[in-house]
Structure 1
Amino acid sequence: MTKYYSIRTKLIAFMLIATTLPLLASMSMTFIQTKTALREQAVAENKRLIYQASTNLNNYIDNAARASLAVYNDPHFLRNLAKIPGDYRAVAEVYTTLQTIRSAVPDVFQLYLHSFAANQSTLITNPFPKREERKQAYSDSLHGQTNGNRQDIWIESAHASHTYGFKAASADDPSRTVITLHRVIMDIPSTERLGVLSIDLNMDSIAAISSRLYDPAKEQIYIVDRHNQVIYQGDSQVSDSLVLNKQVAAELNNIRAGKVHFQTNTGHFEQEHSMYVYQQIGSSFADWTIIKQIPNETLYARANTLTWNNALIAITALIMVIVATLFISIRITGPLKQLMRYMNQIQAGRLHVDIRLTSRDEIGVLARHFRDMMDTVNNLILREYRLELANKTNQLRALQAQIHPHFLYNTLQSIGTLALQQQGQRAYALLSSLSKMLRYSMRDQTCVTLREEAEHARLYLELQQERFGERLEVNLNFAEDTLSVEMPRMTLQPLIENYFKHGADVQPGKGYISIHSHLTTDHWVEIHLENNGPSIPEEKLIEIREWFREELSTSEIVGKETDENESIGLRNVGQRLRLNSSAEHPAMIDIRNREPHGVQIIVKIYAGE
């Protein structure tokens, strides 16, 4: 991890950041501004194109609608509709009027006329016109007249052509996609319907107008009706069931309903990784919308190219910065690394390393000064360290010596009582236990394992049970995974002895002591000591807790004097636990009262990972 904090790494990182951030910021701003400019330019240009196309389409449809008015311009046409069955002259005049309409409108595929008065249908198509008697017009010709809608002219959206119920001229004659202009012929000025005229228009003119609006290789154009059924879609064949993409159709419906803040006749929106520019043609009977789809990759192609060019320039600049930074950093940090290696040797214990740096710059001067002061500094460190070790050892021995008189006095009193009762074998066993305890307390060893402390506590409680008999109940339960943790010798006995000093003799009824240990999930060993003796007064309990939280200095530990009213055992254990634990994971003692009476002491020692 040291290399990540070196001057060389920091210098490289600084140069990279100082170079990369401005380049990335410049590239990002250029890309965003270019995208914005391209989007605005594309919207403006395509709006103009589509507006012109909508005007052409509107004129085309209006021209067809005006041509259909020829049925009213001929003064004999309305009268001839009633004479068609038996009057061949009337039939010829009607045929002439229909041919006039056909020649006036480009892209007419066929015309269909039905006379309600004469119950006769006529189809003008190649190669010959067809006529037959019918009581009603072909059903598709009346589309738009249902549900009470009484329009006299309307446009039927793109659909496959058919023969309006007549027999086809050839079985192999394929259908084609057409739109149909329907006009109801009325006996002007009355509203009586005399017939219906249907003009099928092929898609040639619409395709010609639309082809100038888009690039077929990259873009797409749609012309849809108010139901979002596609009338024209690029060079694709359009069927009756072809409808617009659901998301795009939903956006158009919201625009028509005024649910979004766009102009209802023209505008643009983004959907499905594309931009859509739309324009309604504004015809009163052909509610069509022209939509141009421009994919983002087409719209932002120039922006992407510019970004890649900038990226190549940035990569080249970064490579040059890295090479220059490495050259400079090696010249600067090389002597520093050599000096650091000397320091690492000193840290490993080689206090008399011969520091040799020949550079004449500030780093060389620093190395020579460091070499001159090493002997003095190291001697001071070693001397202070040895004094501190000796002082700490003397403190531990002094603290351990405080507790010997307490347990010896109580134990000898128990054995003396048993001897007076003349139970020699039992007295021998107790003396054996006392011998083991004395040998344990006199060991020249600062720290032991919890297993050894637990055995010493068991011997001590065995002697106390001899003293109190059935008046004392003992429960010991040490978890196996906690017995190897190290702790100061003579830690548990003073905590247990505190109960016999302050509560065992004055407590009525049966006494109870429980000691158990367990390992927590965060690698701490907790030792719980509980008894049912008298509770500690609240003021005294607060005082003891405050003492445990204090960080005592060495002089305070050595010079501290306690009288018999103070908890010698608790303070003694607390001091030794602090002396034998690390600063990162200091041992802790917590003491609290139990309900309804009794005391609980919790010792926490870090077991390590």
Structure 2
Amino acid sequence: MEQLKNKIFNKILFMLSITIMITMLTLLFTISHYYSEVIVQKEMDSNMRTLERIESYIERKKDFTDNALKELYMSGDLIFDISYALEHDYGEYLEFRLNKYSDSSSFVANNMDNYFYEYFGQDNQVVAIILSSVEGNYEYSYVINHFLWNNSKRLQSEDLVDPTNTDGVQEITNDKSDTRELKNMIEFKRTLNDPVTLSELGKISVFYSLEGIEEIISLTKTESEGTYYILDKEGEIYFQSNESNNQGLIQSLDFESATKKMKWDKDTYHINTLASEEHGFLLIGSVPEHEIDKLTVIRGSLLILTCIFAVMAILITFFAMKSYSKRIRTIETTIQQVIEGDLTVRIPHDQHYDELSTISRSFNNMLVDLNKYIDEVYIMNIKQREAEMKALQSQINPHFLFNTLEAIRMKAIIDGSKATSSMIYTLGQLFRYSLDARQFVTIQSELEHVKQYVNLVQSRYPNRLQLHINISEEFLNRNILKFILQPIAENFIIHGFQNDKNENQLTIRLVEENDYLFLSIIDNGTGISENRLREVQNNLEGEAVNSNSIGLKNIHQRIRLKYGHGCGLEINSIEGKGTTVVVKIPGNGGDSHV
């Protein structure tokens, strides 16, 4: 007993055994009185939820139709186009539409054909749209799903739409909308009014397939077989989920939302009704009582079997808990060693695949990441100190350098060498930009730095290098890391520039996609061989170390340190044709301020 008190798993097992036995004995005496009602209520609740989902589905289709009318009224051209079509024959309407299109400056025709197909084509449950005039003289059919339309009973044989009719529009000169039957479709009919005079122009009817409702019913998880109906206020059945012989009972129900138990043809039915006054539909879910009785018998048998195997379950639980207890003690011992400062210890792997195994693997991975993080922080601190030392060294008396360059430039002006003076001035600007302590600059400032560098190159090689910048003004004030573009341009001058030719071109472009900026630096230089390109790309990812591409690697690592691994450089080149370097950074510049 002392061992039992000190082991939590044994305590849990004892309490669990007592609880299971008491619960089973209690259920054996009480389940027969309440279980049938629970099953009935569960099935009827599930049945009602299905009806509510069907109602929600119909409501979505109604809203979809109403939104189409709202968009029609918001477009003066469309409502005028429909008004003309409903007041003239089809030939006159086609002539009117052709004249309107020829007078329009747009390449896309703004008419009701395009609108209906574009808007209602978004919903694969739309079968057809019927547009009819007030007197019924003119009618236009827009069939989205020819197969469902032609196989329904809604159209008489002479109204079947030819599937080869590409425009989908059919003119009918007599009003048949009131005499046609409807099968496996729901119709939403709306009146079209003139937005100015409010006079009635005609009616629009949108027909939806009931396949969506069938899918809702098929996804319903119920253990009894029921039947679902959709009726109108006159009792006509629009939809029936399966074959059933109780249509008379269904058609006799009142148009109201209720839950009933009714007898019909020597059988008893549990019925849910959901009335939709707005749509004019009565949704019905019917479950025969004999189906629910089967569930009651089955569940009762399972309950008895559960009691028989309760003792076996307790024994199996006992042996399983012994194994879990041993594994948890191992985890506890390892955690204690980590608390004492030993970060090299690991929880031994086992052959189990459960929560304890997940905890063990996660704990081991955490220790690996912790050791790695400690190493990275240590190395990063060393590198940070080295960078600070270099920054301090680079700041030693920069004004002396600027003053000296300015004195040389003034001497060159006095001696009449304007070209030399200009080069010295440009060099001074480059040094000033380099010594600027800011980490982020605007794209415009970085481009100016590139221009100054290119000016120096052009001074050395007149008329042999052209710089093209294709960047919209809206991007010029965006932020970017300093010294991103000029080193790439310098890399082209050093490795790809052909000083014996006059066709050297350097192009800088910028596009924005998916909240990222893509700066492309394109040259037509000597390009890079396939093997050399692979070495450069590996060097960017840290897989190789090559001093010839250290500048590009430096840019790549700086971008990733600031913006994350989703950003950086991408290099593509064709030997003899040129090289393209793409810089990917966040569209907002990483929320950094210049």
Q: Compute the TM-score of the two structures, normalised by the length of structure 1.
A: 0.33
Q: Compute the TM-score of the two structures, normalised by the length of structure 2.
A: 0.34
Relative contact order, higher structure (CA 8 A, sep 6+): 1
Rg (Cα) greater in structure: 1
